[in-house]
Amino acid sequence: MDDLTDPPLRPLPARAVRLLERVAAPPRPVAHLRAVHDVAAQFVDWVHGTARGWSSTPRPCCSAPPRTVRG
């Protein structure tokens, strides 16, 4: 098992991998970082896909005009 590639998740950016290797990061935090990175990327993909759908297909929950926040 290689903490930088196993289990199969989205790869970390090369810059992050170099840093983790340089500081000899322990396996558990590396695995956690990989999982968080993968979930964050999935979330961004989902938001990006959802936002594209809003312009052509409004959802009932989002059909009300946006409220302005005054502070």
Q: Where are the domains of the chain?
A: 1-71
Looking at residues 39-61, what average pLDDT do you find? 70
Residue 53's contacts (CB-CB under 8 Å, 6 or more residues apart) are none
Instruction: Please answer whether residues 3 and 27 qualify as being in contact, where contact means their C-beta atoms are separated by less than 8 angstroms.
Output: yes
Better-predicted residue by pLDDT, 14 or 70:
14
Q: What is the pLDDT of residue 46?
A: 87
Confidence tier at 48 by pLDDT (50, 70, 90): confident
Looking at residues 16-35, what average pLDDT do you find? 95
Confidence tier at 69 by pLDDT (50, 70, 90): low
* Amino acid type, 39: V
Question: What is the full DSSP assignment across 2-60?
Answer: -TTTSS--PPPPHHHHHHHHHTT--HHHHHHHHHHHHHHHHHHHHHHHHHHHHHHS--G
d(CA 47, CA 49): 5
Q: What is the pLDDT of residue 47?
A: 86
